[in-house]
Structure 1
Amino acid sequence: MSKKTVFITGGAGFIGLHVVRLLLEKDYQVRIFDNMSRGDRERIDELVKTGNVELVEQDVRYGGAVHAAMKGCESVIHLAAVSINKSQADPYESIDINVVGNNNVFAAAADHGVRRIVFASSASVYGDPKKLPMHEDDELSPLTPYCIAKRTGEDLLGFYQRSKGLNWVALRFFNVYGPGQKPTAYYTSVINHFVKRLKTGQPPIIDGKGEQSMDFIHVHDIARSVVAALESEQGNVPVNIGTGIDTTVASLAEILIKAVGVDVEPQFNPREVLVSRRAADITRAKEVLGWEPTITVGDGMTDLIKSEIG
């Protein structure tokens, strides 16, 4: 029996490379579709040499290219997107890639009759939550072009499900971190800021009381959720992917101080801060995907520091 081929957009990026590694371990063939604007060329060249990975260097904005490249693929993972930061600086490009690109991938998947498409959505579709933990059935109130595009992506999946029978799972990723992530990434800027200071023996500086929180989820667990969504029996639902724990910025500073091993106390910069909190209800992930996180924030952050400091 020939190996099943998975089509993965953005497969050369931070999350994509972790997903590809797991797919290869499970004996899939992988076809990466990536414009390589942020992709890891060296790593992709190594993977292509294995004979189990091919690279189509193209852009999701070109529907014909997406359609042609997807031919013969059994399932699809759609990760390609413009980041939150960039979406606010350039809404035009964001809408082009994150909405038109989404539609091109979903339409091609529907036309080719793929078994399942997994879409990287985002916890940002909720906006500022009214309660914790955040549940998939809560009100959605996306605030930036990136977040709006993620919600639109989920709505488009529903359209292609109704009109052409497309089977999908949308994973609402919470605050992803891990080795190999770009320092400019939206959710990791606070980690990088703290670590830079700690490496030189300086205390981390926290705005306000450090009460704002995030649900930090390690990229390895994110990759596991993508493969679980690809293989799960149930589909046509959005699913939260987080730890279910809201880690405050003050707690994060303590974790990183311990991981770096310096004897400092965080400094607080007293000023008004909009306190937003994040924590996922991951009941559906357990029930639908049979998935739950395996890496605690403490362990994950410690490993991240070790990989950076060596």
Structure 2
Amino acid sequence: MSSTVLVTGGAGFIGAHLVPQLLDRGDRVRILDNMSRGDRGRIAAWVATGRVELVEQDIRYGGAVHQAMTGCDRVVHLAAVSINKSEADPYESIDINVVGSNNVFKAAADHGVRRVVFASSASVYGDPETLPMAEDGPLHPLTPYCIAKHTGEQLLDYYSRRSELSWFALRFFNVYGPGQKPTAYYTSVINHFVQRLRAGEPPVIDGEGAQSMDFVHVHDVARAIVMALDADAARADVPVNIGTGIDTSVAELARTLIAAVGVDVEPQFRPRDVLVSRRAADISRALDVLGWKPTIDLRTGMQDLVDSEIA
């Protein structure tokens, strides 16, 4: 059944992959975005279909959020200030990521929205004590961004207990793919390696390259969001990891990208003390609750990224 979905931050990286999936299944989409980083050309093409509306506003303004929420059945909340900017300006981070999120959730509850899907983050775990990282494991958010994501989950729980609203907080791991900004905090290493490889230079790795991440393709992330919009309300009101369950070391990433770019170089290792951290998601809840599992493996995804015009 088609519906009207409000997507905050829908002009951004994940929105660029989510909105087409929503349109393909017959939904109407209202994008609430301040367009500080959005692609106006892409938005204009969507609006021209007659099924997408842009509300150029900021989630910090409660009245604007309430107005944008009118007539929407479901909500995807993507809008946020990134993790690196949150440490540079904690005030703005709390203002947007906590106050803004509260505006979205409160408006959703007031308007009788039945489902909110919130873009949370694996950063709520901090440095994991064990792998894989499970939703019920210990949380140690370390920055204003991470703290705000955890707070957002708690706010959703608060409003769901006082309304008909149900929710999923999708804890995204290291999201990558075509269209990502070069400055993306957790995956900037990809862009750095690709730039060097395209210049015929080897990637330079600190230490032995044992530090790892769980890279999940943005197409699969968008799929997870769509599936969370439809999932059974009886299974809702929980956080859900969205990753691959595979911890890919920086050294392995470098070799995968060397093959994708097609250059004959070897990674260079820069001896230095490095805090080796590892990340890998326990994705059993995603399969159980959403019916979701990743479909794009690292090699295919990195080739897709390298081949894209925006990579």
5 Å-filtered alignment, 1:54-69, equals 54-69=53-68
Deviations 1:53-94 (A, max 9, x none): 000000000011101110110111000000001001110100
Q: What is the aligned partner in structure 2 of residue 108 from structure 1?
A: 107
Q: What is the aligned partner in structure 2 of residue 39 from structure 1?
A: 38
5 Å-filtered alignment, 1:143-292, equals 143-233=142-232, 234-292=235-293
Opposite residue 111 of structure 2, the aligned amino acid is H
Residues in 2 aligned to 1:54 and 1:308: alpha-carbon distance in whole angstroms: 27
Q: CA deviation at 1:4?
A: 1.2
Residues in 1 aligned to 2:222 and 2:169: alpha-carbon distance in whole angstroms: 14
Q: CA deviation at 1:308?
A: 4.1
SS in 1 for 2:6: strand
Contact in 2 for aligned 1:175/1:242 (Cα 8 Å):
yes
SS in 2 for 1:304: helix
Residues in 2 aligned to 1:204 and 1:182: alpha-carbon distance in whole angstroms: 19
Residues in 2 aligned to 1:68 and 1:258: alpha-carbon distance in whole angstroms: 49
Residues in 2 aligned to 1:284 and 1:309: alpha-carbon distance in whole angstroms: 33
Residues in 1 aligned to 2:225 and 2:263: alpha-carbon distance in whole angstroms: 36
RMSD: 1.1
Residues in 2 aligned to 1:307 and 1:165: alpha-carbon distance in whole angstroms: 42
Opposite residue 54 of structure 1, the aligned amino acid is E
Deviations 1:196-231 (A, max 9, x none): 111111111000000000000000000000000000
Opposite residue 299 of structure 1, the aligned amino acid is T
Instruction: Please give the TM-score of this superposition, normalised by the length of structure 1.
Output: 0.98
Q: What is the aligned partner in structure 1 of residue 21 from structure 2?
A: 22
Opposite residue 223 of structure 2, the aligned amino acid is R
Contact in 2 for aligned 1:177/1:187 (Cα 8 Å):
no
Q: CA deviation at 1:166?
A: 2.0
Contact in 1 for aligned 2:242/2:281 (Cα 8 Å):
yes
Deviations 1:158-190 (A, max 9, x none): 111112242100000000000011111112210
Report whether the alignment pairs 1:82 with 2:81: yes
Contact in 1 for aligned 2:212/2:277 (Cα 8 Å):
yes
**Sequence identity (%):** 73
Runs of 4+ in 1 over 4 A off after TM superposition: none
5 Å-filtered alignment, 1:137-148, equals 137-148=136-147
Opposite residue 21 of structure 1, the aligned amino acid is P
Opposite residue 117 of structure 1, the aligned amino acid is V
Residues in 2 aligned to 1:176 and 1:308: alpha-carbon distance in whole angstroms: 18
Opposite residue 124 of structure 2, the aligned amino acid is V
Contact in 1 for aligned 2:114/2:164 (Cα 8 Å):
no
Q: CA separation of 1:274/1:299 partners in 2, compared to 1, >3 Å: closer, same or farther?
A: same
Contact in 2 for aligned 1:58/1:65 (Cα 8 Å):
yes
SS in 2 for 1:303: helix
Instruction: Please give the TM-score of this superposition, normalised by the length of structure 2.
Output: 0.98
Gaps of 5+ in 2: none
SS in 1 for 2:171: strand
Q: What is the aligned partner in structure 2 of residue 5 from structure 1?
A: 4
Residues in 2 aligned to 1:215 and 1:284: alpha-carbon distance in whole angstroms: 16
Residues in 2 aligned to 1:73 and 1:189: alpha-carbon distance in whole angstroms: 35
Gaps of 5+ in 1: none
